């Protein structure tokens, strides 16, 4: 079954009513993951998102490849739908004038450039407030705006290491691993959206904009909150538990005769059901297995005893038994199988979004539905400078001025000014 075929079985439709942010203009000075994630979610919610990119090269993710979909880097395709692209050198005095005019028209500015870079270009907080008192300015950083590391750039894996996440994945064999996903970048993007939405509500009451700040460090520490709180309470450092859970046993990936099955016996009732489903009533009678507290103290012994039984089943047989018994479980499988899963198909997470260079493009929907439907998409990820001429004409620049900016290398445009209706 092809990926295209899986999208035809969604039981959740895509609606025709856009999100509530229609009519709001967002300027995204975003690169890599965190800033573009914020812009993409706001675009999904209906906002007009104008992505300001470097002349010539654009967002860093335009060069993060492989992997590709057709000729286009997957990294860019996955983070930049529902946006318009303005390729602009705002460090040039002429480009700064363009950005000023754009910001005067904006409701929200999102930026995750190098710390201090936007201020150095003449757009510090004071200047932004002069340009547009109603502007909501969302500033994203690695380590936060104050402190000894405030001016240092940062990437997701660095903050995973800094905040203790990598140490939690240390198996003691070779170097520790990181979570191979942009959990901090995307998490920070989510916090940014929440902050921006709150700032919009504040503006409804006050008429004034806000300065919203988020950082990868703050996101990382919020993800490990219980571990940090535990250390402050005097508890010992957490051990690496693999796929296990510190307070629940058995919990994690257990071997079948082929592959692994993740089992979650989250309370005593589920433990009893698990033992029954496995046909191993003797586990209930074993000393030290009677309660979750006892099992947690004998974690290795319990896990090995359960594993001895699960190894005797084929994975599908084991999953069927656990499902009938009402024990939460799932196969441990590679990510390339996810799109073809019947449940993923039913909820319609994978959806077509044709692209002029990638006609078969599919994206992952914003994972929220409204009144039983996903929000409609506005447009596929843009080509670099695709909307430059259009936006400049909208901002009041004449066709001649647009052509001069393009000729001077201040603007990149894939469309000439005379192709744009004034």
C-alpha 409/C-alpha 406 separation (Å) is: 5
As given in the structure block, the two tokens for residue 380 are 């596929």
**Catalytic site residue 185?**
yes
Cβ neighbours of residue 379 under 8 Å, at least 6 residues apart?
81, 82, 83, 84
Query: 44, 185, 403, 412: which is the annotated catalytic residue?
Result: 185
Residue closest to 159 by CA, chosen among 140, 174, 172:
140
As given in the structure block, the two tokens for residue 280 are 């191993």
C-alpha 392/C-alpha 223 separation (Å) is: 42
3-state secondary structure of 78: coil
Q: Is 330 left (phi over 0), alpha (psi -120 to 50) or beta?
A: beta
C-alpha 156/C-alpha 142 separation (Å) is: 8
CA distances from 110 to 92, 113, 135, 222, 385 (A): 20, 10, 10, 21, 19
C-alpha 45/C-alpha 59 separation (Å) is: 22
Please give the positions annotated as active site: 185
């Amino acid at each position: 079954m092809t990926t295209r075929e899986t999208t035809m079985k969604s039981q959740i439709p895509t609606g025709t009513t856009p999100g509530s942010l229609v009519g709001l203009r967002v300027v995204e000075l975003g690169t890599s993951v965190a800033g573009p994630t914020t812009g993409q979610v706001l675009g999904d919610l209906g906002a007009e998102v104008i992505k300001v990119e470097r002349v010539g090269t654009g967002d860093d993710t335009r060069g993060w490849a492989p992997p590709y979909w057709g000729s286009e880097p997957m990294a860019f395709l996955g983070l930049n739908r529902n946006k318009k692209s303005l390729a602009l050198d705002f460090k040039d005095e002429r480009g700064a004038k363009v950005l000023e005019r754009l910001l005067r028209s904006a409701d929200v500015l999102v930026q995750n450039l190098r710390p201090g870079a936007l201020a150095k270009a003449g757009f510090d907080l004071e200047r932004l407030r002069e340009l547009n008192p109603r502007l909501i300015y969302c500033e994203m950083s690695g380590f936060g705006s104050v402190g000894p590391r405030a001016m240092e750039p940062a990437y997701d894996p660095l903050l995973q290491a800094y905040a203790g996440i990598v140490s939690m994945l240390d198996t003691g064999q070779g170097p520790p691993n990181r979570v191979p996903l942009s959990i901090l970048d995307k998490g920070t993007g989510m916090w940014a959206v929440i902050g921006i939405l709150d700032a919009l509500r504040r503006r409804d009451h006050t008429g004034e904009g806000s300065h919203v700040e988020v950082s990868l460090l703050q996101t990382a520490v919020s993800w490990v909150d219980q571990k940090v709180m535990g250390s402050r309470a005097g508890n010992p450092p957490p051990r690496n538990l693999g796929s296990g859970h510190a307070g629940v046993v058995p919990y994690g990936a257990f071997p079948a005769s082929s592959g692994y099955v993740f089992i979650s016996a989250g309370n005593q009732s589920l433990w009893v059901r698990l033992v029954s489903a496995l046909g191993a009533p003797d586990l209930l009678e074993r000393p030290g297995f009677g309660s979750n507290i006892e099992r947690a103290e004998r974690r290795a012994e319990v896990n090995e005893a359960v594993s001895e039984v699960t190894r005797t089943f084929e994975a599908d047989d084991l999953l069927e038994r656990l499902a009938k018994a009402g024990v939460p479980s799932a196969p441990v499988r590679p990510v390339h199988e996810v799109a073809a899963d019947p449940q993923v198909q039913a909820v319609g997470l994978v959806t077509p979004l044709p692209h002029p260079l990638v006609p078969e493009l599919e994206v992952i929907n914003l994972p929220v539905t409204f009144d039983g439907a996903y929000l409609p998409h506005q447009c596929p990820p843009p080509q670099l400078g695709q909307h430059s001429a259009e936006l400049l004409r909208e901002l009041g620049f004449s066709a001649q001025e647009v052509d001069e900016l393009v000729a001077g290398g201040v603007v990149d445009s894939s469309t000439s000014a005379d192709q744009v209706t004034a």
